[in-house]
């Protein structure tokens, strides 16, 4: 059942944007619920960043409307929208200290000195940077700068926080840490977040719902689990994670369509005998990734990828070897195309 209008803090209707004769957004409808973490996920050119910038007021849509708490903000300037933005490059002022950076949006809104000081202290405590208040951005690590940007964005209590690929400049280890921190802060403060990324792992880990963007349209809007397990189209299936896609008629003669099975659901050895679907495939490559192996195979001229835990790996396993593969019906998903 779709949420009622009362549950939606923002409502986007028939949003369009063209650059010249090229459509960037095409009749996009989107409702964002109060307190949810919603991710706009898609490849470059899918329209996700353009939509974020239109919500922020940085760009204007060609047609359509945006309502925030019921009020039409489509033509309001950014500073009148009660929306905060965290950019990919953090956009901190290099000549200001951490505390001054965080205080900036409060001063722009005319908040008194004592109240401003208290809010800055609270915001820095939330991101665990209380002892860094007097430092300058150049004296901080990338992760610390990101936390300052987050503190500055939420310090004035915006209705919505927009985040444009904020973790992309961080190294992998720090990115994983910041994902956890970001989700904890969002949940603790009850923030409504619209997050843009092309990273499927980020989207799956952080989001309450994901809007997968394809050529200016929302191809699917649902929970991370639903999008991963039951994608609405071949595009979504291939964009989210590794997808094994095979003609359905291989397993159900006379049936049209495509069967999807994820690599982690395919097994070998004794469980194959109890599987609903079975296939013989030849090993092409074997890649070790610590806790598991990624095995690339060929079956009837089609590539198959299998993810096997070390303890479940047939030994020895070498290129050219033939394997019986199997998977259960409840781990397969049928696509119309």
Q: What is the pLDDT of residue 337?
A: 65
List the beta bridge partners of residue 162.
85, 194
Average pLDDT, the chain: 93
Over the stretch 205-233, which tens digit does the pLDDT of each residue have? 999 999 999 999 999 999 999 999 999 99
The residue assigned the tokens 């394809």 is 214
The pLDDT, as a whole number, for residue 3 is: 42
Percent of the chain with pLDDT over 70: 98
Residue 312 vs residue 177, higher pLDDT: 177
Q: What is the pLDDT of residue 34?
A: 96
User: pLDDT tens across 240-268, in order?
Assistant: 999 999 999 989 888 899 999 999 999 99
Average pLDDT over residues 22-32: 97
The single residue listed with the structure tokens 């409702």 is 31
Q: What is the pLDDT of residues 28-80, one digit of tens each?
A: 999 999 999 999 999 999 999 999 999 999 999 999 999 999 999 999 999 99
pLDDT score, position 17: 98
Confidence of residue 316 (pLDDT cuts 50, 70, 90): confident
Which CATH fold topology does 244-335 show?
OB fold (Dihydrolipoamide Acetyltransferase, E2P) (2.40.50)
Using the predicted structure, report yes or no on whether residue 2 has a pLDDT greater than 50.
no
* CA distances, 252 to each of 248, 273, 289 (Å): 6, 18, 34
The whole-number pLDDT of residue 67 equals 98
Q: Taking phi first (over 0 means left), then psi (-120 to 50 degrees means alpha), and beta for anything else, what does residue 191 get?
A: beta
Q: Which residues, at least 6 apart from 216, have a Cβ–Cβ distance to it below 8 Å? A: 17, 23, 24, 25, 26, 28, 46, 47
pLDDT in tens, 177-209: 889 889 999 999 999 999 999 999 999 999 999
CA 74 to chain centroid, in Å, comes to 25
Q: Where are the domains of the chain?
A: 5-239, 244-335
User: 1: pLDDT confidence band, cut at 50, 70 and 90?
Assistant: very low
Whether the predicted pLDDT of 6 surpasses 80: no
Percent of the chain with pLDDT over 90: 79
Report the distance separating Cα 211 and Cα 46, nearest Å.
11
pLDDT exceeds cutoff 90 at 283? yes
Least confident of 39-43, 121-125, 168-172: 168-172
For the domain spanning 5-239, the CATH number is: 3.40.50.300
Whether the predicted pLDDT of 104 surpasses 50: yes
Nearest one of 160, 151, 5 to 73, comparing CA atoms: 160
**Interval 156-170 mean pLDDT:** 91
């Amino acid at each position: 059942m779709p949420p009622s209008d009362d549950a939606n803090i923002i409502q986007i209707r028939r949003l369009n944007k063209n650059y010249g004769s090229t459509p960037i957004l095409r009749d996009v409808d989107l409702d964002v619920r109060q307190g949810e973490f919603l991710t706009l996920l898609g490849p470059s050119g899918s329209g996700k960043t353009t939509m974020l910038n239109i919500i922020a007021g940085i760009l204007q849509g060609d047609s359509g409307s945006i309502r925030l708490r019921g009020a039409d903000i489509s033509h309001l300037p950014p500073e009148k929208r009660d929306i905060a933005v965290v950019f990919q490059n953090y956009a901190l002022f290099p000549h200001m200290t951490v505390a001054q950076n965080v205080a900036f949006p409060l001063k722009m809104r005319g908040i008194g000195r004592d109240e401003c000081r208290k809010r800055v202290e609270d915001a820095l405590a939330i991101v665990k940077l209380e002892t860094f208040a007097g430092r300058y951005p150049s004296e901080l690590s990338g992760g610390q700068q990101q936390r300052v940007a987050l503190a500055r964005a939420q310090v004035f209590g915006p209705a919505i926080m927009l985040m444009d690929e904020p973790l992309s400049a961080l190294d992998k280890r720090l990115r994983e840490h910041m994902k956890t921190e970001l989700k904890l802060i969002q949940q603790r403060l009850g923030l409504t977040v619209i997050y843009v990324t092309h990273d499927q792992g980020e989207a799956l880990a952080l989001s309450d719902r994901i809007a997968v963007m394809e050529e200016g349209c929302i191809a699917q809007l649902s929970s991370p689990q639903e999008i991963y397990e039951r994608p609405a189209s071949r595009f979504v299936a291939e964009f989210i994670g590794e997808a094994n896609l095979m003609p359905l008629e291989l397993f159900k003669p006379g049936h049209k369509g495509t069967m999807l099975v994820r690599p982690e659901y395919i097994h070998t050895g004794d469980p194959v005998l109890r599987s609903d679907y079975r296939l013989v495939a030849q090993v092409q490559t074997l890649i070790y990734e610590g806790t598991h192996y990624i095995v690339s195979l060929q079956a009837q001229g089609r590539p198959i990828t299998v993810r096997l835990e070390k303890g479940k790996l047939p030994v020895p396993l070498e290129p050219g070897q033939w394997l019986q593969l199997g998977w259960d019906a409840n781990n397969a998903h049928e696509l119309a195309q």
